[in-house]
């Protein structure tokens, strides 16, 4: 059968539009934020900024402490030597310095987006001067965060293109000196839009200067590994990357309605959310990054750890102190209970009726 030319044109137009929409929505190969591209040359020691370490009397300057994960505050445990302090992002070394050893590297966006937040006060955050860019990918609003800058050259609300200059590297914030100047880069999910009221409830007397873009309200994914994985598979999306992450623990919570987190990131939904069950079961990576949310038939009256990876040492070392116990025994710590309140908005007065 012969297809009329106008129909063929419309069909082609639809295909092109669909391809364009996909290109705009997905994080098509993220750009590196500085001129340091040693990551893709396999030269990790030149890409990541080291940390000055003193462990069991031995000093060292390991670049691995600049990667994402439990890479800091080493402890000898029944599970061997493990890092007990979590690093939410990656630390990228400067490639240009002036005669006084100050970094000169331009900081650029990893993709197009909108400047969601700018903190120009070096003293009111451990991040020093930092900014957050929200990316409208089809995986929901993900936020890249650029910290310890000496100068920020964009304003909140401004649209930015991929690779656009947004600031200059520095050493503002906590625990840095000129020698260890670096860019701290994160790629985050937003945990809650009710952060301010959660903060006011649990941190009485301390002011939240950063609205929803406070570091406590963002869960970072392993952006260093994502760069490498995406360089090997250009079709890789954030949801697919997250699905491959190992689950450390699951928490079952009473089901009081749809979770805001799942509404914002629908790809977190696992199983049939239309089937009414008494509970939700949320799976977390060791970092507390939510990996999936599934309906659960197990009735609970309060958030309960329903599954945990076995370890010989204390779970608190492996989970940012969110889980307590050892082996298959595990309970939520007070910090863990607060964390679950934040991501379920259970601290907020109004419960949503499904
Ligand atoms: Zn860092």
Distance from Cα 50 to the centre of ligand 1, integer Å = 10
**pLDDT of 350 higher than 70:** no
190, 217, 243 — which closes off a domain?
A: 243
Burial pattern 269-278, b for ≥16 Cβ within 10 A else e, equals: bbeebeeebe
Distance from Cα 185 to the centre of ligand 1, integer Å = 7
Distance from Cα 139 to the centre of ligand 1, integer Å = 25
Residue-level pLDDT at 143: 96
Residue-level pLDDT at 116: 96
Distance from Cα 67 to the centre of ligand 1, integer Å = 8
Our measurement of the distance from residue 23's CA atom to the centroid of its chain's CA atoms, rounded to an integer in Å, reads: 22
Q: How confident is the model at residue 10 (pLDDT cuts 50, 70, 90)?
A: low
286 shares a domain with 147: no
134 shares a domain with 78: yes
250 shares a domain with 220: no
Is residue 141 in a domain? yes
Distance from Cα 88 to the centre of ligand 1, integer Å = 7
Distance from Cα 90 to the centre of ligand 1, integer Å = 5
317 shares a domain with 223: no
Q: How confident is the model at residue 345 (pLDDT cuts 50, 70, 90)?
A: confident
Distance from Cα 53 to the centre of ligand 1, integer Å = 15
- Domain count of the chain? 2
Residue-level pLDDT at 21: 45
Residue-level pLDDT at 175: 85
Residue-level pLDDT at 230: 94
Distance from Cα 51 to the centre of ligand 1, integer Å = 10
Is residue 152 in a domain? yes
Is residue 351 in a domain? no
d(CA 13, CA 19): 10
Distance from Cα 280 to the centre of ligand 1, integer Å = 33
Residue-level pLDDT at 138: 84
264 shares a domain with 222: no
Distance from Cα 66 to the centre of ligand 1, integer Å = 6
8-state DSSP, 214: S
User: Which domain does 306 fall in, by range?
Assistant: 245-344
Tell me how many helices (H) and strands (E) the chain has. Answer: 8, 19
Q: Which residue has the higher pLDDT, 77 or 13?
A: 77
Structure tokens at 10: 């419309």
85 shares a domain with 65: yes
207 shares a domain with 117: yes
**pLDDT of 257 higher than 80:** yes
**pLDDT of 50 higher than 60:** yes
- Give the mean pLDDT of 114-136: 95
- Give the mean pLDDT of 7-11: 56
Residue-level pLDDT at 352: 39
**pLDDT of 259 higher than 80:** yes
Distance from Cα 14 to the centre of ligand 1, integer Å = 44
Distance from Cα 253 to the centre of ligand 1, integer Å = 32
First to last CA, the chain: 50
- Give the mean pLDDT of 310-339: 95
Distance from Cα 62 to the centre of ligand 1, integer Å = 13
Is residue 166 in a domain? yes
Residue-level pLDDT at 27: 65
Q: Which residue has the higher pLDDT, 1 or 129?
A: 129
d(CA 321, CA 334): 9
Distance from Cα 125 to the centre of ligand 1, integer Å = 13
- Give the mean pLDDT of 137-164: 96
Distance from Cα 11 to the centre of ligand 1, integer Å = 48
Q: How confident is the model at residue 87 (pLDDT cuts 50, 70, 90)?
A: very high
339 shares a domain with 267: yes
214 shares a domain with 136: yes
Beta-carbon contacts of 4 under 8 Å, excluding residues fewer than 6 positions away, are none
Distance from Cα 276 to the centre of ligand 1, integer Å = 42
Is residue 168 in a domain? yes
**pLDDT of 63 higher than 50:** yes
193, 219, 243 — which closes off a domain?
A: 243
- Report the predicted TM-score, pTM, of the whole model to 2 decimal places: 0.89
Bridge partners, residue 86, by sequence: 70
Phi, psi of 225 (to 5 degrees): -65, -35
- What is the domain-level CATH number for residue 107? 2.70.70.10
234 shares a domain with 95: yes
- Give the mean pLDDT of 305-326: 95
Is residue 16 in a domain? no
Distance from Cα 178 to the centre of ligand 1, integer Å = 15
C-alpha neighbours within 13 Å on the C-beta side of residue 218: 24
**pLDDT of 3 higher than 80:** no
215 shares a domain with 79: yes
Distance from Cα 266 to the centre of ligand 1, integer Å = 29
Is residue 17 in a domain? no
Q: Which segments of the chain does DSSP mark as H helices, in order?
A: 5-25, 44-47, 195-202, 223-232, 238-243, 260-264, 315-318, 334-344
Distance from Cα 20 to the centre of ligand 1, integer Å = 35
283 shares a domain with 157: no
217, 243, 269 — which closes off a domain?
A: 243
Q: How confident is the model at residue 204 (pLDDT cuts 50, 70, 90)?
A: confident
Distance from Cα 344 to the centre of ligand 1, integer Å = 27
Is residue 10 in a domain? no
């Amino acid at each position: 059968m012969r297809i009329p030319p106008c129909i063929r044109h419309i069909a082609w137009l639809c295909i092109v539009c669909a391809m364009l929409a996909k290109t705009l929505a997905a994080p098509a190969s993220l750009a590196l934020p500085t001129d340091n591209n040693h990551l893709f040359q396999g030269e990790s020691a030149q890409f990541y900024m080291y940390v000055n370490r003193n462990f069991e009397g031995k000093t060292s300057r390991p670049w691995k402490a600049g990667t994402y994960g439990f890479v800091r505050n080493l402890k000898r445990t029944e599970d061997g030597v493990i890092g007990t302090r979590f690093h939410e992002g990656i630390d990228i070394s400067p490639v240009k310095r002036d005669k006084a050893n100050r970094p000169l590297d331009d900081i650029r966006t990893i993709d197009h987006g909108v400047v969601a937040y700018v903190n120009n006060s070096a003293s009111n955050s451990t991040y020093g001067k930092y900014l957050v860019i929200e990316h409208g990918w089809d995986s929901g609003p993900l936020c890249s965060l650029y910290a310890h800058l000496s100068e920020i050259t964009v304003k909140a609300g401004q649209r930015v293109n991929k690779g656009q200059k947004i600031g200059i590297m520095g050493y503002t914030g906590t625990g840095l000196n000129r020698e260890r100047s670096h860019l701290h880069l994160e790629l985050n999910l937003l945990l809650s839009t009710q952060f301010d009221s959660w903060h006011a409830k649990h941190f009485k007397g301390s002011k939240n200067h950063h609205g929803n873009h406070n570091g406590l309200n963002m869960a970072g994914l392993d952006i260093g590994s994502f760069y490498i994985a995406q360089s090997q598979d250009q079709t890789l999306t954030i949801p697919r990357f997250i699905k491959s992450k190992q689950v450390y623990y699951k928490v079952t919570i009473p089901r009081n309605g749809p979770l805001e987190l799942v509404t914002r990131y629908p790809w977190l939904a696992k199983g049939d959310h239309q089937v009414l069950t008494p509970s939700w079961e949320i799976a977390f990576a060791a970092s507390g990054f939510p990996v999936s949310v599934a309906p659960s038939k197990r009735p609970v009256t309060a958030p309960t750890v329903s599954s945990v990876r076995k370890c010989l040492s204390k779970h608190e070392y492996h989970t940012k102190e969110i889980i307590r116990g050892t082996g298959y025994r595990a309970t939520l710590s007070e910090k863990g209970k607060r964390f679950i309140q934040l991501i379920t908005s259970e601290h907020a007065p109004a419960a949503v009726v499904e």
